[in-house]
Structure 1
Amino acid sequence: MKLAVAIASKEAMPNAFVVFRGVKESIIKAHALGYDGVELALKNPNEVDKHGLKQWLRDNQLEVSAISSGQVFAARGLHFTDENKENRAELYKTFCEFIDLAGEFGGLVNIGRTRGPIAGRDITLVENLFLDMAHKVADHAEKRGVDLILEPVNRYEIDFINNLDECSEMLRKVNRKNFVMMPDVFHMNIEDDKIGASFIRNKEYVRYVHFADTNRHAPGDGHMHWDEIFEALTSIGYDGWTTAEILPYPDPDTAAQRTVAFLKGTYGKYYH
Structure 2
Amino acid sequence: MLQLGIVTYNIAKDWDLPTILQKLEKLGYGGVELRTTHKHGVEVGLSAEGRREVRKRFEDSPVELVGLGSAFEYHSPDPAVLRKMIADTKEYVRLAHDVGALGVKVRPNGIPKGEDPETAFKRIGAALHEVGEDAEGQGVEIRVEVHGTGTSEWPGFARIMELANHPNVGVCWNSNPQDVPKGGSSIAGNYKLVAGKIRTVHLRDLTDEAYPWPELFRLLTADGFHGFTMAEIPESTDPDRVLRYFRSLWKAYQPVHA
Which category of TM-score, normalised to the shorter sequence, fits these structures?
Answer: 0.7 to 0.9
Describe the superposition over 1:233-259 as per-residue Cα deviations: whole angstroms up to 9, x where unpaired.
Answer: 111111111111111246422322221
Counterpart in the other structure of 1:28: 22
Within the candidate set 207, 211, 214, 2:203 is matched to 211
Q: CA deviation at 1:31?
A: 1.3
Within the candidate set 95, 112, 115, 1:101 is matched to 95
What runs of 5+ residues in structure 2 fail to find an aligned partner? 38-42
Matched, 1:237 2:224: yes
Matched, 1:228 2:222: no
Within the candidate set 143, 150, 155, 1:149 is matched to 143
Pairwise mapping of residues 144-223 of structure 1 onto structure 2 (< 5 A)?
Answer: 144-153=138-147, 158-185=148-175, 187=176, 189-193=177-181, 194-213=186-205, 219=206, 221-223=207-209
Q: CA deviation at 1:5?
A: 0.7
1:205 and 1:163 mapped to 2: Cα distance?
A: 17
1:62 and 1:82 mapped to 2: Cα distance?
A: 36
The aligned amino acid for 1:161 is T
Q: CA deviation at 1:140?
A: 0.9
Counterpart in the other structure of 2:74: 80
TM score, norm. by length of structure 2 = 0.81
Q: Percent of pairs identical after alignment?
A: 20
Counterpart in the other structure of 1:60: 61
Larger helix share, 1 or 2 = 1
What runs of 5+ residues in structure 1 fail to find an aligned partner? 8-16, 73-78, 214-218
2:190 and 2:119 mapped to 1: Cα distance?
A: 28
Counterpart in the other structure of 2:134: 140
2:238 and 2:111 mapped to 1: Cα distance?
A: 32
Matched, 1:246 2:227: no
TM score, norm. by length of structure 1 = 0.78
C-alpha change, 1:175 and 1:161, in structure 2 (3 Å) is same
Describe the superposition over 1:113-158 as per-residue Cα deviations: whole angstroms up to 9, x where unpaired.
Answer: 5x554222233442343233223212211211222111212xxxx3
Describe the superposition over 1:56-112 as per-residue Cα deviations: whole angstroms up to 9, x where unpaired.
Answer: 223331111121113x5xxxxxx3122334433332222112212333423211123
Instruction: Please state whether the residue corresponding to 2:137 is helix, strand or coil.
Output: helix
